[in-house]
Amino acid sequence: MVEIKKVITKGQRRQFVNFPLRLYKKNPYYAPALYSDEMKTFTEDNVYRDTCDDVFFLAYKDKKVAGRIQGIIQRQYNELHNEKRVRFTRFDCIDDQEVANALFDAVIKWAKSYGMTQFCGPLGYSDLEREGLLISGFDEYSTYEEQYNFPYYQKLIENAGFGKDVDWVEYKLYAPKTKNDMLSRVAKRSLEMNGLHVVDSSVMSKKEYLNKYQDGFFDCIDECYASLYGTVPFTSEMKEQLIDQFMLIINKKYLIIICDKDERVVAVGLCFPAIGRALKNSGGHLTLPALIRLLHAIRCPKVIDLGLVAVRPEYQSRGVPAVMIEGMLEMLNNSDVVYCETNLNLEDNIAVQSMWKYFTAIQHKRRRSFVKDI
């Protein structure tokens, strides 16, 4: 018999966060989120409280936790797109269809009380949370930014009546064997013709750098990502929380900002040192050994995760993407970095995927968001 309980108490919150750590304890490819960030999701410190309604459920079988799920009504997104969608995220489950169905049914019942008519996911509060179900690439290490899952999850979701909504693909990018001189000339000419410059981060501290350009950074991302699946505009609170969350792992060497003569940000490329393996043994807790491993991964990364790449529309056909590609190639050629990992690219986002032709690119993962009427 399956019993569903709404997460209310502190003990239930710990069970909710701890369940995937137990489920994937022996899995070599799983990368946990920061434990403190996951616990913050339940509190008033979660900045999405202003734009979302959410609920958390645990499933018990034989008196043991057998699954979990979070439901989110992203009011901001629904209002912008005139939709009545509820999202699911943080879905983890044993290989048991009865347990999975009970979790989905609990969210559906809750969502219908708010008048929702469609159910989709895995999607978080925003595009910057972990999203998409891994449907191929199960023998590849998960990045810190994305969630790993067992292959049987797809069966559980599809058997519950969901179908494909969108797919994302992911790539490993290695430096090409030969330098592309034409790319370098296009990048240099683009900066000259458009009156642009790549910001020199070496002349200021990380804090000064972020304080000066953070508003332009987020404005650029908002403009470029507005039409992409599942995205919402940044609120001031979201900006502050994201900077706080990523301040430790941001390395100026892997942040590219391009500005015009008036210091307006026209393009950004944000990459992170890969930290998933550094946090694995501690289950996302920042213990002293985990912190030492984390700091080493930040200072001497072997892999770089691509977080965000954006070029304002008016510059996309004026050679500016070449400048971004040149910057990424420099990261690979002038360091001990072995490869970059793109994280999620929508399968029909040809503009982004066309950038990877300048690398030795291997498409190694695919993720999917599902949808069904309720």
- Of 74, 79, 80, 77, the residue nearest 52 (C-alpha): 74
Which pLDDT belongs to residue 45?
83
Which pLDDT belongs to residue 259?
95
Cis-peptide into 122, omega within 30 deg: yes
Lookup: tokens for 84: 């009545």
- DSSP lists the bridge partners of residue 78 as none
Contact present, 32 and 280 (Cβ < 8 Å): yes
Contact present, 348 and 169 (Cβ < 8 Å): no
Segment-wise mean pLDDT, segments of 10 residues, the chain, 374 residues: 96 97 95 92 88 97 96 96 96 98 98 98 92 97 94 98 97 90 92 93 83 90 88 84 74 88 92 90 91 90 89 91 90 86 92 91 97 97
Instruction: Return d(Cα 203, Cα 316) in angstroms, integer.
Output: 28
* Residues written for the chain: 374
Provide the strand spans (E) within 2-132.
2-6, 52-61, 64-74, 85-93, 118-121
**HEC profile of 206-243:** HHHHHHHHHHHHHHHHHHHHCCCCCCCCCCHHHHHHHH
pTM: 0.92
Which pLDDT belongs to residue 76?
93
Which pLDDT belongs to residue 351?
85
Backbone angles phi, psi at 224, to 5 degrees: -80, -25
Q: What pairing do the DSSP bridges indicate for beta strands 85-93 and 118-121?
A: parallel
Tally of CB atoms within 10 A around 317: 10
Instruction: Return d(Cα 218, Cα 226) in angstroms, integer.
Output: 12
For residue 295, give every residue at least 6 positions away whose Cβ sits within 8 Å of its Cβ, in sequence order, or none. none
Backbone angles phi, psi at 322, to 5 degrees: -65, -35
Which pLDDT belongs to residue 373?
97
Lookup: tokens for 149: 């899952």
Contact present, 119 and 108 (Cβ < 8 Å): yes
Which pLDDT belongs to residue 257?
93
Taking each helix axis from N to C end, the angle separating 181-194 and 320-333, rounded to the nearest 10 degrees, works out to 130
Contact present, 106 and 68 (Cβ < 8 Å): no
Question: Which tens digit of pLDDT belongs to each residue from 9-49?
Answer: 999 999 999 999 999 999 999 999 999 999 999 988 888 98
